[in-house]
Amino acid sequence: MRVSTRGDYACRALLSLALHDESGPTSVRDIAERTGLPQPYLEQILLALKGAGLVRSKRGVGGGYVLARDADEILLSEIVSAVDGPITLGDFGQPHQDGACDHEGQCVLLAIWNVAGDVMRRHLEGYTLASIAAVSRGEAPWPQAPA
């Protein structure tokens, strides 16, 4: 699986909101400056995240975006799924379970791809915005691959 640029930008934007949640709504311009993301693209991503219920917006002076839920309730997998769709290794279909595979080896590979997608989804579900913010602040260890 590959996280798209859109998925990466969405995670970076929400992490920025989590790191600065005490300061109230944050403008798109401020998020773009802090993260180094292009503002026009970021605006589109934030609209998608708003549609997914991950952020709320406030208009006018002092307006901007805030997290719609506490950072410890927002999973990394939710953010990626909100902008990239379901977390899978691809849309290859389901393997035949009865041994009636149409093409040599196809079904066993389909099963492997599905398992790998499940592993990736569970891995991303193991991180919340709060846990990532703690690492960013130096309050928690860097993520490592399981032994």
- Span 112-126, mean pLDDT? 86
CATH 1.10.10.10 matches 5-87+128-136: yes
Q: Provide, rounded to the nearest whole percent, the portion of the chain with pLDDT above 70.
A: 86
* Sequence-ordered list of residues with C-beta below 8 angstroms from that of 98, at least 6 positions apart, any chain: none
Residue 96 pLDDT greater than 70, yes or no: no
Rg of the chain over Cα atoms, rounded to whole angstroms, equals: 18
110 vs 82, more confident: 82
Identify the pLDDT of residue 74. Answer: 97
pLDDT at 91: 58
CB atoms closer than 10 angstroms to residue 127: 17
Look up the pTM and report it. Answer: 0.83
For residues 1 and 60, give the distance between their C-alpha atoms in angstroms, rounded to a whole number: 40
Per-domain residue ranges of the chain: 5-87+128-136
Name every residue whose Cβ is closer than 8 Å to that of residue 127 and which is 6 or more positions away in sequence: 75, 76, 143
Scored b (16 or more CB within 10 A) or e, 6-27 reads bbebbbbbbbbbbbebeeebbe
Residues contacting 60, CB < 8 A, separation 6+: none
Read off the pLDDT band of 53 (50, 70, 90): very high
- In the chain, how long is the greatest CA-to-CA distance? 64
Residue 98 pLDDT > 80: no
Asked whether the beta carbons of 13 and 35 are under 8 A apart, the reply is yes
Whole-number Å distance between alpha carbons of 50 and 27: 14
Minimal CA–CA distance to 75: which of 128, 5, 132? Answer: 128
Q: Which residues pair with 82 in a beta bridge?
A: none
pLDDT tier for residue 55 given thresholds of 50, 70 and 90? very high
